[in-house]
Amino acid sequence: MAKKGKLIGIGVGPGDTELVTLKAAKVLKSVPVVFSPKSSKEKESIALSIVRPILEERKDYKRLMIVEPIFPMIENKKELEKIWTSASELISQYLNTGRDVAFITLGDPSIFSTYSYVQKKLIDKYEIETIPGITSFTACAAAKNKALVEQNDILTIVPKIDDRLNEILDYSDSIVLMKASRNTSRLESTIEDKKRPKEIYSVQNCTRENEKIIEGFSNEKPYLTTTIIQFSDD
């Protein structure tokens, strides 16, 4: 029986191709299959746009297999489960023929990434390697030229606010609000009204051509928007 291929989860960083690690680029220069989920048929995958310049340098670029399944942005767990299962089955088909598959993911694969669900489904069946990437929120802090946490500061990463908000606001020193496009104005004023001295800034499209740093929450909220709240109580 043919040796099975290896699944390689690759974090491609926040947007600038120069922030793809050397290790990730090395794999992308030779892997036979690149798996790059996207949220809709019409939109290009952001992760793929980041690594395209690296892939295009390959002599065999025209023969490279780029698979772009649709992973819609939905919250229905049953539907998501079905999508992850069929994506895992599709990846298995390539792995079973002995080909390695690179699953590319925006930022770092361990932070709110679709790769993690597929990784869980395939972990006992195939060899898997995960290559970390620069995550969006450290890139946002770098764009602002300001540390996220110092000394004993506690950093909290929040994908969606729920009824834990007040505790988060009491006990965190820095808060990263990801997927900021889901923030409501009520949530934003609750945070602004919190009686702790603080700095709030948002970064849109960090490290990409249209990067924007905004003081406070941003009114416009493209998908790639992250808000950082830093308390300074001393």
- Binding site residues, ligand SAM, CB under 6 A: 14-15, 105-108, 111-113, 135-136, 140, 178-180, 203, 205-208, 223-226
- Tell me the two tokens of residue 122: 């395939």
DSSP code of residue 8: E
Work out how close the CB of 206 gets to ligand SAM at its nearest, in angstroms, rounded to a whole number: 3
For residues 215 and 228, the answer to whether their CB atoms sit within 8 Å is: no
Cβ atoms < 10 Å from Cβ of 156: 16
How many residues does this entry show for the chain? Answer: 234
Work out how close the CB of 110 gets to ligand SAM at its nearest, in angstroms, rounded to a whole number: 8
Work out how close the CB of 28 gets to ligand SAM at its nearest, in angstroms, rounded to a whole number: 17
Q: Any alpha helices (H) in the chain, and if so which ranges?
A: 22-28, 46-56, 77-96, 115-122, 136-144, 165-171, 185-193
Cβ atoms < 10 Å from Cβ of 2: 8
Q: By Cβ distance, which residue is nearest to ligand SAM? A: 107
**Closer Cβ to ligand SAM, 5 or 228, answer by number:** 228
**Closer Cβ to ligand SAM, 92 or 114, answer by number:** 114
Q: Which of 156, 122, 151, 111 is nearest to 35 (CA)?
A: 122
Work out how close the CB of 98 gets to ligand SAM at its nearest, in angstroms, rounded to a whole number: 29
Work out how close the CB of 111 gets to ligand SAM at its nearest, in angstroms, rounded to a whole number: 4
**Closer Cβ to ligand SAM, 99 or 211, answer by number:** 211
**Closer Cβ to ligand SAM, 161 or 206, answer by number:** 206
Work out how close the CB of 234 gets to ligand SAM at its nearest, in angstroms, rounded to a whole number: 29
**Closer Cβ to ligand SAM, 5 or 191, answer by number:** 191
**Closer Cβ to ligand SAM, 16 or 127, answer by number:** 16
In terms of Cβ atoms closer than 10 Å to its own Cβ (0-12, 13-18, 19+), residue 12 is buried
How open is the CA angle 222-84-160, to the nearest 5 degrees? 40
